[in-house]
Chains A and B, each alone.
Chain A
Amino acid sequence: MSNESRLAPDETELIRKAKRGDREAFGILVERYQRRVVGVALAVVHNPDDALELAQETFVRAYENLGSFESRSSFSTWLYRIAANLAIDFRRREGRHSFVRGEEAESEFDRLPSSTGDSFAEYSRSELNRRLRAALDELTPEHRAVILLREVEGLGYDEISDILQCPRGTVMSRLHYARNRLRTILKATEQN
């Protein structure tokens, strides 16, 4: 498959226009990939506000460096790679956010069962989510990114390997480790 054919029909034209400074063309590209880019950033930083900020930064960086994009990989993979790099750097700079802050604290409070009629099933589900989030926070950014890119974003191993710039074998081993780790943590909390 040629490099050009990897791009959607009008994507090549949009990229060409954006390279020449056409902000409307770039706006269409932003619309097209914003959700996925936010998802990739969220997979690493695990905080919605930070993920949004990083996603914006991703598009700004992409716009600034469009000239260096040569269609060797697909445009989406190139974008996700920028997002992942920014998010991993951010995470390393900031350290782990194990504490609950701001809006997160409010949503944690909302998850508590109210006395006026939350069903037990709903409570169990939100409790599972809470545990899962806590378990994800236990993982390193690299392991969390791999498992969320696979399970939530539905990316293939090769694409994850491209985005995180690591061998496919590393993707497989990180995924195996992350799955087992989450499984162990969840089992332990279930037993407790």
Chain B
Amino acid sequence: MSACDQVKLLLGPFDDGELEPHEMEDVALHVVSCGACKAALDDYRSLGVALRDCATQPAIDGFTAAVLKRIDQLPQPLWRRWRHYLDVLAEHVSGTVPLVAAGAFAALLTAWLVTPYAQRLLHRSPGLVQIASSNKNNLREPSEQQPVTSQNASPDQSESSMITLSNDPSTTVIWLPNQP
């Protein structure tokens, strides 16, 4: 195969700029010195111009509308309809969710603040705790060996800090501190 035959295969890609840099250089050097290859290259270029010139693009007015109309006539799969519905819903809801969340939080906080639980926590008096702890020393635990009942309690015992209502283990025992 002669140099011209080899280069002629590359003339099109050369004109299209699709060769490697070293091939571009080789073809360019050959074309400068070869009349036949130069003529072929000119023909390719003229052909390209003529093809672009004769190419007629049909009018595409209303093309998109026609495509969308055909799409509307397609049977929509259920999953796609649901997905679209959920997307639309999410778009509408997405703006209101933070507001609703903030409102709910504010309502919960208000409700909590006005309940007795919050009042007890907020207004807990340290004095009461101190009083309770100071009175703790005044408490006497009843002896198991000598249970004291309200029935057989002596007068001095009745003044004690504790009153046992019953010996019965199932009975509730109330411990009362001495009253000031």
Contacts and interface: CB of A to CB of B under 8 A. Distances in A.
Interface of A: 17, 20-23, 26-27, 30-31, 34-35, 38-39, 42, 48-49, 51-52, 55-56, 59-60, 63-64, 125, 128-129, 132-133, 147-148, 150-152, 156-157, 172, 175-176, 179, 182-183, 186
A22 B44 contact: no
B111 interface: no
A132 B18 CA distance: 25
Interface of B: 9, 12-13, 16, 18, 40, 43-44, 47-48, 50-58, 60, 63-64, 66-68, 70-72, 74, 76, 80-81, 83-84, 87
Contact of A20 (B40, B43, B71, B87): B87
A190 B85 CA distance: 64
B60 A38 contact: yes
A20 B80 contact: yes
Nearest to B18: A157
5 contacts: A38-B57, A39-B55, A56-B70, A133-B54, A175-B13
Which secondary structure dominates chain A's binding surface? Answer: helix
A73 B70 CA distance: 26
A157 B13 contact: yes
Contacts of B48: 151
Given A38-B60, A129-B50, A179-B47, 6 more contacts: A21-B81, A34-B60, A55-B63, A56-B66, A60-B74, A183-B40
Contact of A21 (B16, B40, B47, B80): B80
A69 B48 CA distance: 34
A63 B67 CA distance: 10
Contacts of B74: 60, 63-64
A146 to B, nearest CB: 11
Contacts of A151: 47-48, 51-52
Contacts of B58: 38, 42, 48-49, 51-52
Contacts of A34: 60, 63-64, 67
